[in-house]
Amino acid sequence: QHLLAEGAPKRVLAEVLAEVQRQQEAFGRTFREQVLPALSAAGIQLLSAEDLTDQQRDWTQQYFDKQVRDLLSPVVLDETLHQLFLKDQAVYLTFWLRKPLAKTKKADAERVVLMELPTKRHGGRFVALPGGAGTPESPHQVLFLDDVVRVGAASLFPAYAQVQVNAIKLSRDAELDIAEEVSDDLLVKIRSSLAKRATGYPARLLFDPETPKEVLRAIKQKTGIEDEELVEGSRYHNFRDFFGFPSFGRNDLLNPAWPELPHPTLPRTGPLLPAVAQRDHLLHVPYQSFDAVPRLLREAAGDPSVSSISITLYRVAPKSAVAKALLKAVKNGKQVTAVVELKARFDEESNMHWAEKLQRAGAHVIFTPPELKCHAKLLLIARREGAEGALRRYAYLSSGNFNEATAGLYADHALFTANAEIAAEVDQVFRYFITGEVPTHLQHLLVAPFTLRAQLLKLIAAEAARARKGKEAYIILKVNSLEDPGMIAALYEASQAGVRVELLIRGIGSLVPGEAGLSENISQRGLIDRYLEHARIYVFANGGQEKVFLSSADWMTRNLDRRVEVAFPLLDDTLRAEVRHLLDLERADNVKARDFENNLLLSAEGEPPVRAQEAQYQYLKKLAGRKRAAKK
């Protein structure tokens, strides 16, 4: 109703922009008032051009002349320039030139010049000044590349007495324009849309608040940007460049190394399929090595008894060991089916690359139609075993991608299983992509967009019914985002029935917890730490026979209704307890956890600190040690 009311779109956009501005200001305050002082106390100073001594300015000018000047390409914003194109997400420096030192035409008395900051060609955004011992008394000192250019600006424009330098950044609409009908060649459509992404419609121009209005006026005239697309930012943009901030060998300021842990039940060397045939195994990345997955695929590719491999690929790494193993399998005569999602945002090019390589090699590559995404993470290996050559299936189901790059940063859980019933249901999901036959005969898997929503609502209703009878009832839900109105309404109803609901949400959370008469039995927390919490876990009390599901699906309308997603149960008591313990550590976090209003949930006086990710690492380390000791 709020969105459909008259004038709502403009009002909602204004509210969003106001909130973005509030967050931008909070971010700036945190950087200035917490990060920079802490860095300085550790013996590293980030200076601005105005902080430099005369000696440092001389050194910076020399550095500019030798290392930076030739990388700059000035564009004058005058009547000869009819249109200005700004790259998406690039930082530009604006120069307002005033007070010419010699007589000049009136039109040249004030000029606006623009240059792209050459971060990539320079080799980074930061320049370390010489000297410094890395102590508060004698700190290492660093400049933004922006400030190196500020120091050199006067020498760039020697004809002007005043040169003011400011920074801007443009963000463009990155949505791909793909028709809502099935195309004969989706690859062609995606490739065409990707080519247009860099020139997408301007969505926001972030500018330094000190930027002169004359400069902004000139940029608007040359780009067609409207006033409502101007957003006041800070002096510096693109803080992602801090990934390249010099460390000066200060390992004491970095996260402690957490080497990948050996898996407690999967063999370190030799074949994996026999181990999966004996029992189910959980994989917890990045704490345990994702290499078990490409290793399993390489094994299957070279196994004469393996007849087929089916896999869903949502985000494929540019140098993918998974895709290379699939190519090897095709070469060895295996039937390989790959459901490749071409519409995975910002991974389209890598996915296209591997899809085409697999197609050329002879794999059966399936693309989802424009209106549907495959977000499920599934692998199925079919193998002939025994004297009679009976078919046995091995399945891998995960909350995370088949991607080695993200597996080192995203915290996810995955299941290796040879359970015949689960593997048969995974096969049903793949048959849907091949034949269009909807998977309906499901006893274990919850599959969107077919059964997931209905089954989740049924599980929530069952908890509410038990609560009304005075029985123990609870739900623990860990997702990236919760915004579906139907699921939120069901959780509100469960809360009112007396069900205790605990939400662990990292991203979007549209449910309001703790409201009297509505959600007083619902609590919410989120965890932002070293690794990105990417796993989805659903826990239901189930009358004392707790049900635990791992899943690829957030509780968002798009995931429940417009994506192929899979939630899968943990049937093994030991593995269920393992996931519950990891989840309980996150529920107990009082170092990095935050509440619904983004307040840190810090430990009370006398309460021992619990940093969940560190505690999870130590738990899995002990688990691996115990299992190794038991084998000896």
Exposure on the CB side of residue 162, measured as CA atoms within 13 A? 9
Verify that 187 and 120 share a domain, yes or no: yes
Distance CA 262, CA 277 (A): 20
What φ, ψ does residue 483 adopt, rounded to 5°? -145, -5
pLDDT in tens, 241-280: 999 999 999 999 998 899 999 999 999 999 999 999 999 9
- Tell me: cis bond preceding 158? Omega within 30 of 0 counts: no
Verify that 406 and 510 share a domain, yes or no: no
How much is the pLDDT for 135?
Answer: 93
375 as an active site residue: the answer is yes
DSSP strand pairing (563-569 vs 44-47):
unpaired
Q: Is residue 255 part of a domain?
A: no
Verify that 227 and 291 share a domain, yes or no: no
Verify that 34 and 110 share a domain, yes or no: no
Q: Is residue 81 part of a domain?
A: yes
Dihedral of the CA atoms 113, 118, 121, 122 (nearest 10)? Answer: 120
Q: Is residue 261 part of a domain?
A: no
Verify that 226 and 326 share a domain, yes or no: no
We report the CATH number of the domain holding residue 153 as: 3.30.1840.10
Verify that 571 and 560 share a domain, yes or no: yes
How much is the pLDDT for 17?
Answer: 81
| Last residue in a domain, options 394, 410, 439 | 439
Verify that 310 and 188 share a domain, yes or no: no
How much is the pLDDT for 201?
Answer: 66
We report the CATH number of the domain holding residue 480 as: 3.30.870.10
Verify that 362 and 431 share a domain, yes or no: yes
Return the DSSP state at 201. Answer: P
Verify that 380 and 298 share a domain, yes or no: yes
Parts of the chain with a pLDDT under 70:
1-6, 103-108, 173-202, 343-348, 627-632
Catalytic annotation, pick one of 375, 413, 534, 581:
375
| Last residue in a domain, options 393, 417, 439 | 439
| Last residue in a domain, options 406, 439, 472 | 439
Structure tokens, 367: 């693309």
What φ, ψ does residue 95 adopt, rounded to 5°? -125, 120
Distance CA 17, CA 21 (A): 6
**Exposure string for 368-389, b = 16+ CB within 10 A, e = fewer:** bebeebbbbbbbbbbbeeeeee
- The structure tokens 């094994």 sit at 299
* Number of domains, the chain: 4
Q: Is residue 422 part of a domain?
A: yes
Q: Is residue 299 part of a domain?
A: yes
What Å distances lie between residue 500 and 320, 456, 495, CA to CA? 43, 16, 6
What Å distances lie between residue 468 and 162, 260, 486, 493, 517, CA to CA? 75, 46, 21, 11, 15
Verify that 300 and 419 share a domain, yes or no: yes
Verify that 392 and 420 share a domain, yes or no: yes
Q: Is residue 138 part of a domain?
A: yes
Note the pTM of the prediction, 2 decimals.
0.87
Range of the domain at 323: 275-439
Q: Is residue 266 part of a domain?
A: no
Q: Is residue 254 part of a domain?
A: no
How much is the pLDDT for 452?
Answer: 98
Distance CA 384, CA 195 (A): 45
Verify that 154 and 293 share a domain, yes or no: no
